[in-house]
């Protein structure tokens, strides 16, 4: 089924203990759209870039059957740019540069073709922009998944809470869950967050896996894949969310059991991402590679 | 089947963000023997205490069917005492006091009744003492599981490597695995450690679960239980190792599949431990409570 992806399409410059990149292609919606394209032939990308963004990348999106009618190009402006440096353990990072550029006045272009989308992925963005997308959609999608980050908890908490209330699945990491809830114990933090409105909460723990909490009280806990190498965590959370949502977009009925498998697909897609800098790890996947890693995850986590 | 437990029986004084204890009963072999007593009616405890150690605790061991013939009491000396303070996140701790006392010259008393033991748990001790136990046993047990810690990697590395070589299953935490191998990536660290001799390596990751690596290349990865409260991590690693080994002691054949379930039982027993200070969390368990938590772990980790 069709997936509408809203989020940043951008340039990143990344430094990790394994090396350093110049400006490379990044942005939440970039990672999400690419991952989703392995699961759905109807992926709609909504975002904004500047005149500096390479047309070859947009061509590549099209080649992947990603519809880019909603990707606005502001010829006289510059694309969003983020630069960051990961610490030794790669679990934390410092932001070195954030140039909002085109994102400063981003108004997602929701076109008639987007109205039919059954799955909506709200990549990390200002929460009022995320909520605006929901308001512009005439009918509510079958499933709304949103990502956010600590930054919005600090500077736009009220708006964030309003957006979370309208969301089906909130996907955040453990530190963000603690910050959002003000509760240290993750079980209690999850309970507090589910009271904010979402039906389901996914807490990502990076190399330590992910946890799935439902308002019904159902719970699932999964380790991540143990990898030979982790080169660059940038985009891993986006790939996780995209794997989760786009696996569900293939299911007729979104049961809790389906969401368990979706968690595993999220882990699989994130695992490819972190093995290379930027989007390199997810650019050249095949269905066989995805299935092989999914089967391996099953084999090594199921008794 | 019978389980021989060798290790410290001691006093601890513990401070965590949740409170502070006076001198309470601790020691690796204490935790291991208590946990094992829920799985086996033939647990043999070998250790040493001073005249200051309460007879009531030794009586309690006996009530649990723990054979204490190998627990030496040095009336004119003092028991081993450790005091530590956990940091805010409880993943790390500072040792405040270590008084070796009776442990300074500990020579495990291996009696004829110990010779029949089929399972040997070498709790954390100087590696030459651990190795000495193996040498004193006339026949090799069916399974030898050992624990150790970073301290021995620093001051007795050569002896530690000799002991590890003689072990079937080495159980250590992630930081210890990195330190022992000198390798940061845990997959490669595990490969390096398996080359040191053990057939199986268990890497404990505390709240993040545990990983099981076999020389055959088989691998299993499990999350830990998500708990309402974690009060005191002291002894959790010992309880994990004891749950792992003593579940296996009930099996006719120690397959890799059996070891997967043993990992889950290890997690279950560790989860009880951390919910209270010292041994309080494991003192009053029932088979029902253990089974209930094991079933919950299965339910929340299996797709």
- Rounded to the nearest angstrom, the minimum Cα separation between B295 and chain A is 12
The 3-state DSSP class for residue A133 equals helix
pTM for the structure as a whole: 0.96
B234 closest CA partner among B5, B8, B16, B4? B16
Please say whether the beta carbons of B81 and B99 come within 8 A. yes
The 3-state DSSP class for residue A109 equals coil
Residue B20 in tokens: 């502070």
Q: What is the CA radius of gyration of chain A?
A: 18
Facing B208 at nearest CB: one of A208, A229, A260: A208
Q: What is the CA radius of gyration of chain B?
A: 18
Which residue has 């003000």 as its token pair?
Answer: A182
- Rounded to the nearest angstrom, the minimum Cα separation between B64 and chain A is 31
- Residues from chain B that touch A303, judged by Cβ atoms under 8 A, are 220, 257, 260-261, 264, 298, 302
Structure confidence at residue B89 (pLDDT): 81
B198 closest CA partner among B221, B167, B222? B167
Structure confidence at residue A35 (pLDDT): 98
Which residue has 């969301």 as its token pair?
Answer: A167
- Of all residues in chain A, what percent carry a pLDDT higher than 90? 97
CATH class of the A3-301 domain in this structure? alpha beta
Phi, psi of B279 (to 5 degrees): -90, 0
Helical packing angle, A287-301 and A256-274, nearest 10°: 110
Predicted-complex ipTM score: 0.94
pLDDT band for position A243 (cuts 50, 70, 90): very high
* Residue B254, CA distances (Å) to B198, B207, B221 in order: 15, 26, 18
Please say whether the beta carbons of A141 and A4 come within 8 A. yes
- Residues from chain A that touch B227, judged by Cβ atoms under 8 A, are 185, 187
Structure confidence at residue B75 (pLDDT): 97
**pLDDT of residue A144 exceeding 90:** yes
Structure confidence at residue B88 (pLDDT): 86
Q: Tens of pLDDT along A169-180?
A: 999 999 999 999
Distance CA(B285)–CA(B151), nearest Å, equals 32
Residues of chain B with pLDDT under 70: none
Facing A301 at nearest CB: one of B188, B222, B257: B222
What would the mean pLDDT of A74-99 be, rounded to a whole number? 93
Please say whether the beta carbons of A129 and A160 come within 8 A. no
What would the mean pLDDT of A257-286 be, rounded to a whole number? 98
Residue A32 in tokens: 């999400």
For chain A, give every domain's residue range.
3-301
Q: Tens of pLDDT along A32-64?
A: 999 999 999 999 999 999 999 999 999 999 999
Q: Tens of pLDDT along A151-161?
A: 999 999 999 99
Facing B226 at nearest CB: one of A221, A261, A264: A221
Please say whether the beta carbons of A226 and A201 come within 8 A. no
The 3-state DSSP class for residue A267 equals helix
Q: Tens of pLDDT along A128-141?
A: 999 999 999 989 99
């Amino acid at each position: 089924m069709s997936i509408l992806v809203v989020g940043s399409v951008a340039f990143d410059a990344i430094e990790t203990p394994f090396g350093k990149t110049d400006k490379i292609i990044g942005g939440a919606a970039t990672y999400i759209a690419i991952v989703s394209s392995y699961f759905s032939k109807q992926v709609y990308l909504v975002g904004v870039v500047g005149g500096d963004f390479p047309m070859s990348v947009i061509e590549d999106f099209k080649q992947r059957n990603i519809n880019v009618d909603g990707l606005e190009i502001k010829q006289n402006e510059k694309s969003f740019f983020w630069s960051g440096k990961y610490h030794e353990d790669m679990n934390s990072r410092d932001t070195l540069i954030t140039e909002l550029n085109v994102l400063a006045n981003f108004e997602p272009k929701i076109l008639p073709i987007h109205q039919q989308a059954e799955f909506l992925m709200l990549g990390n963005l200002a929460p009022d922009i995320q909520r605006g997308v929901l308001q512009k959609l005439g009918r509510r999608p079958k499933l709304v998944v949103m990502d956010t980050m600590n930054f919005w908890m600090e500077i736009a908490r009220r708006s964030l809470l309003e957006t979370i209330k309208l969301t089906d699945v909130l996907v955040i990491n453990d530190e963000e869950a603690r910050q959002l809830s003000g509760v240290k114990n993750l079980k209690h933090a999850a309970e507090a967050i589910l009271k904010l409105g979402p039906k389901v909460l996914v807490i990502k723990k990076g190399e330590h896996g992910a946890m799935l909490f439902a308002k019904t009280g159902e719970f699932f806990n999964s380790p991540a894949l143990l990898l030979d190498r982790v080169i660059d965590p940038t985009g891993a959370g986006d790939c996780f969310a995209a794997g989760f949502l786009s696996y569900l977009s293939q299911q007729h009925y979104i049961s809790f059991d389906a969401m368990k498998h979706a968690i595993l697909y999220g882990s699989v897609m994130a695992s490819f991402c972190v093995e290379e800098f930027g989007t390199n790890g997810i650019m050249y996947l095949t269905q066989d590679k995805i299935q092989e890693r999914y089967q391996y995850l099953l084999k090594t986590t199921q008794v």
